[in-house]
Amino acid sequence: MSEHLIWMDLDTGVDDTAALCCAASLENRGLITIAGASAVCGNTTREHAFANTRNVLGMLGKEHIPVYPGAEKPLLAELHTAAHVHGENGLGNVVLPESPAPAESIMAWDALYRCAVEAEGRLELILTGPHTNAAIAFKKYPDLKKYLKRILIMGGAEVGGNITPAAEFNIYADPEAAEVVFKSGVHVVMCGLDVTEKGILYPEEIREIEQGETVGCRLFRDTTQHCRAWYKSMGIGGLHIHDVNPVLYTVYPELYTAEEAGVFVETRGYITRGKTVSDRDTDVKFGVKNATVVLDVDRVRFKDLFIELLQETIK
Ligand code: RIB
Ligand code: CA
C-alpha cells in the first residue's frame, strides 16, 4: 500500500485536469493511491466538472476510480463560474471522449465519509475547487474530522487575491464553506496564490510539454489553449497551474517553503469577503495553528517534476 491515500474533490477545470494527470502518474509510481474523486461547482458547473473528471480519469486509464457528483451551488453565495478562464465546459471547450465507467449516483459527501471511515484516519483530502462538498460532509457527519489525516487545498492567499483584491477564487466562490473547513479541526495545508503564482510555466516549458505524445501532454496542449489566450490578454507571460500544487506538496513537501499559522475566512467584509486571514505577522494571534501556509516553491524543480509527470502518463 502506498504512503498516501488521497481523495480529490475538484471543479474540473483546466488546472484541475493537470492536477489529475500528476496524481495519475504519482499513483503509477506507487507513491499515492487515489481512493476516489468528487465534483463540485466552481470553475465550471457541477455537471461539467463531473463529466470532465470522469472523462479525464478515463483517458488516463483510471476509469476504475469512482467519481461522485457533489454540490450544484455554493452554500449561500450565488454561483459564478470562471468560463472566461476555463471556457464554458471548463476545459477550454475541448470535448473529450466519454469515460466507459458507469456514472456514480451516491453524493460526494456520503461517499467521502464512507471512504474516510473505512480508511481509519489515513485519508488525505485534496480540494482544488470551492469547499462546498467538504463543508456539507462536515455538517452532515460531525465525526468526519476523526477520520481525515489532513486537508490540502489550492485556495486562499496570505497576501492579495485574484477574483477580488482580497480574495482568491476558490474561497470567494463559497466563503461559508471554506469557513467550515478551516474550523473543522482537521489541519489544512493551504497552497494559496502566494505560492501557486510562483510556480509559473514559461512559454519554452509549455512548448516542451506540447511535444510530448502522452495523454497528459496532449490534454495539457489542447485544454490550456483557451486560458493561455486569457493569461496573455491579462499581460501574464506564462501559465499558472495552481491546482497541481496540493498534489505535489502531498508527496514532495521538500520543494516548498511553508509556515504554521492560524487561518480563518472573512465571510462578512464588504470588500474583503472570502479573504483567508492568517496570523503570521501580527502581535495578537488566533491562539491556534490550524494550517500550514505554503509560501514559496523551488520553481525549477517544480516545473521539471510537472513535465516529467505529464510525460509519464499513458499514451
Ligand atoms: O484561483 C485560481 C483558480 O484556478 C482556482 O479556481 C483554482 O482551483 C484554479 O482552477
Ligand atoms: Ca480548480
Closest atom of ligand 1 to 43 CA is 6
Per-residue pLDDT of the chain (315 residues; tens, 9 = 90+): 789 999 999 999 999 999 999 999 999 999 999 999 999 999 999 999 999 999 999 999 999 999 999 999 999 999 999 888 888 999 999 999 999 999 999 999 999 999 999 999 999 999 999 999 999 999 999 999 999 999 999 999 999 999 999 999 999 999 999 999 999 999 999 999 999 999 999 999 999 999 999 999 999 999 999 999 998 998 998 999 999 999 999 999 999 999 999 999 999 999 999 999 998 877 778 889 999 999 999 999 999 999 999 999 999
| CB of 170 sitting under 6 A from ligand 1 | yes
Q: Whose CA is nearest to atom 3 of ligand 1?
A: 169
CA–CA separation, 79 and 69 (whole Å): 16
Identify which of 198, 124, 183, 126 has the alpha carbon closest to the alpha carbon of residue 155. Answer: 126
| CB of 12 sitting under 6 A from ligand 1 | no
CA angle, 261 then 108 then 44, to 5°: 80
Q: Which residue has the cell 457541477?
A: 46
Burial class (CB in 10 A: 0-12, 13-18, 19+), 79: middle
Q: Collect residues with CB below 5 Å from ion ligand 2.
A: 11, 13, 16, 43, 128-129, 243
φ, ψ at 189 (rounded to 5°)? -95, 115
Q: Could you give the domains of the chain? A: 4-311 (3.90.245.10)
Identify which of 40, 286, 14 has the alpha carbon closest to the alpha carbon of residue 177. Answer: 40
Residue 111 CA to ligand 1 center (angstroms) comes to 24
Q: Whose CA is nearest to atom 2 of ligand 1?
A: 169
| pLDDT for residue 9 | 98
| pLDDT for residue 283 | 76
Residue 230 CA to ligand 1 center (angstroms) comes to 14
Q: Per the structure block, which three cell numbers stand in for 63? A: 476509469
